[in-house]
Amino acid sequence: MSSDYYFISDIHLGFSEKSIETEKEKKLEKFLYEIRGKADTLFILGDLFDHWFEYKKVIPKGYFKTFSALNELVESGTEVIYFIGNHDFLHYDFFREEIGVRLIHDSAEFTLGSKKFFMAHGDGLMANDTGYKILKYFLRNNITQKLFTLIHPDIGLWLAGSTSKKSRVYTTKRDVRHNGDRLITVAKDKLDSGFDYVIFGHSHIRNNLNFGEKYYINLGSWITKPCYGIFSKNKFEIVEIDK
């Protein structure tokens, strides 16, 4: 297996109408097959789904090809590490048990090649985000999640879908108000504390910024421009998927 590392983020499967989603899922499936035998690890930086609402015995319908391609990637020897985003946080054990994906709920640190990486989806990391932090605590709370599971799946998934849309309207408005990617400040702090690379998703603003020999990377979102990141021979590159 090669020692290349791949990154994708904020695919938001299920976001648009059926025809657009089918195209997007095809692109994802093609990408997942193409990196077989090449990727040591695939990092998914959150919001793979526009909403994910998993019950103990039930998962959302409609992403079979993605599950299958991810599973084949895992079987081929690639480790898949999935940071849970703010749109797809209601996971139980399907990804771990059935697909063999490692789920991470917050941030994580890795040494890839000779570089130190700090990675997270990015939600709840910004200053002045107290309202969201309280909401995140509430939504990720065990009791809240247990109560959710009492709702019939068809209703639960509908609720998750409409909450997801409201959350995006809120995030977009807030980012416009703050004029850009507020995660840059968070990334700079992390780089100052000794990391070589900081990788976030969440903002949907694509960035590849260098501060000397240190980098902040954000892969934007597949809603506007599908891309992936590759870290190979101690160099990071963002590659457009359409081209």
Contacting residues toward Mn ion, per CB under 5 A: 10, 47
For Mn ion, the closer CB: 47 or 54: 47
For Mn ion, the closer CB: 8 or 101: 8
| CA 10 – CA 26 distance, rounded (Å) | 16
- List the 214-219 sheet strands across, edge first: 108-112, 115-119, 197-200, 214-219, 206-211
The answer to whether 230 touches 7, Cβ cutoff 8 Å, is: yes
Minimum CB–partner distance for residue 10 and Mn ion (Å)? 4
Minimum CB–partner distance for residue 14 and Mn ion (Å)? 12
Q: Which of 87, 90, 83 is nearest to 165 (CA)?
A: 87
For Mn ion, the closer CB: 112 or 227: 227
Closest residue to Mn ion, judged by C-beta, is 47
For Mn ion, the closer CB: 14 or 112: 14
Minimum CB–partner distance for residue 171 and Mn ion (Å)? 8
Which pair of tokens denotes residue 80? 């898949």
The H or E element spanning position 207 is strand 206-211
Minimum CB–partner distance for residue 53 and Mn ion (Å)? 16
Dihedral of CA 49/54/60/65: which sign? positive
